[in-house]
């Protein structure tokens, strides 16, 4: 993926996957990159970034090749209870479209 945005300053790039932003920093970076990085590295992969301030950023996710077929463990797959809902999921996001999409996927409401 490549964008044509503002790019990432060289002094910020080494900390781009950190889980925290500077106090009061509201420029749009937060946990998203840290979560992506954690998922990709847990799968044995890596995220490569190239960025030039004023010209944009390119990101590449590299994952190891799958070895054979993957069968889910029998104990990891459970049938949903037939009695209906048994829990709640709280979704908080500053993008109303994201909240609506997740509510639709989860079968809930946005109230």
**Structural contact between residues 66 and 77, judged by C-beta atoms closer than 8 angstroms:** no
Identify whether 103 is part of a domain. no
**Residue 5, C-beta contacts closer than 8 angstroms, at least 6 positions apart:** 56, 57
Identify whether 33 is part of a domain. yes
β-partners of residue 36 are: none
Identify whether 82 is part of a domain. no
Confidence label for 99 from pLDDT (cuts 50, 70 and 90) = confident
Q: How many domains would you assign to the chain?
A: 1
Question: How confident is the model over 65-96, as pLDDT tens digits?
Answer: 877 666 666 655 555 556 565 667 777 778 88
User: Torsion angle, CA of 30/51/49/91, rounded to 10 degrees?
Assistant: 20
* More confident: 47 or 76: 47
**CA gap 16, 34 in Å, rounded:** 8
CATH code for the domain of 15 = 3.30.565.10
**CA gap 57, 104 in Å, rounded:** 32
Specify the pLDDT at position 23.
47
**CA gap 90, 9 in Å, rounded:** 35
Question: How confident is the model over 9-34, as pLDDT tens digits?
Answer: 888 888 888 876 554 455 554 567 78
């Amino acid at each position: 993926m490549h964008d044509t945005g503002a790019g990432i300053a060289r002094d910020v790039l080494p900390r781009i996957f950190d889980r925290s932003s500077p106090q009061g920093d509201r420029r749009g970076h937060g946990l998203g990159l840290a979560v992506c990085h954690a998922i990709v590295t847990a799968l044995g992969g890596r995220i490569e970034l190239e960025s030039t301030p004023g010209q944009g950023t390119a990101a590449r996710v590299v994952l190891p090749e799958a070895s054979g077929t993957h069968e889910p463990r029998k104990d990891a797959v459970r049938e949903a209870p037939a009695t209906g809902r048994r829990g709640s999921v709280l979704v908080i996001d500053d993008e109303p479209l994201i909240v609506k999409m997740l509510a639709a996927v989860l079968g809930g409401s946005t109230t």
